[in-house]
Amino acid sequence: MDQKTFLKEMAKHAQRNTTDTRREDSKNLKKIQIKTFKPKDDCGRLMDSIDINSLELFAEMMRDRYGNRDED
């Protein structure tokens, strides 16, 4: 084995046998999950954002398609 090949093999050996601190740290990291909840007063804002005309149009389209099922 010539000097150049020997140095390459030693570099590979050194890379394999040294501890990579980044790899060690990533193994020890804990995964967390963050959940956020909307305040309860958002219900009023939701009700205000509903377009009544669009909702009435949708109801009329569904009645035309499926018939009026109020009798059931």
Residue ranges of domains in the chain: 39-67
Q: For residues 43 and 49, give the distance between their C-alpha atoms in angstroms, rounded to a whole number.
A: 10
What does the pLDDT read at residue 60? 92
Q: For residues 57 and 52, give the distance between their C-alpha atoms in angstroms, rounded to a whole number.
A: 9
Average pLDDT value for residue range 42-53: 80
CA angle 17, 20, 24 (to 5 degrees): 115
Query: pLDDT class for 38, splitting at 50, 70, 90?
Result: low
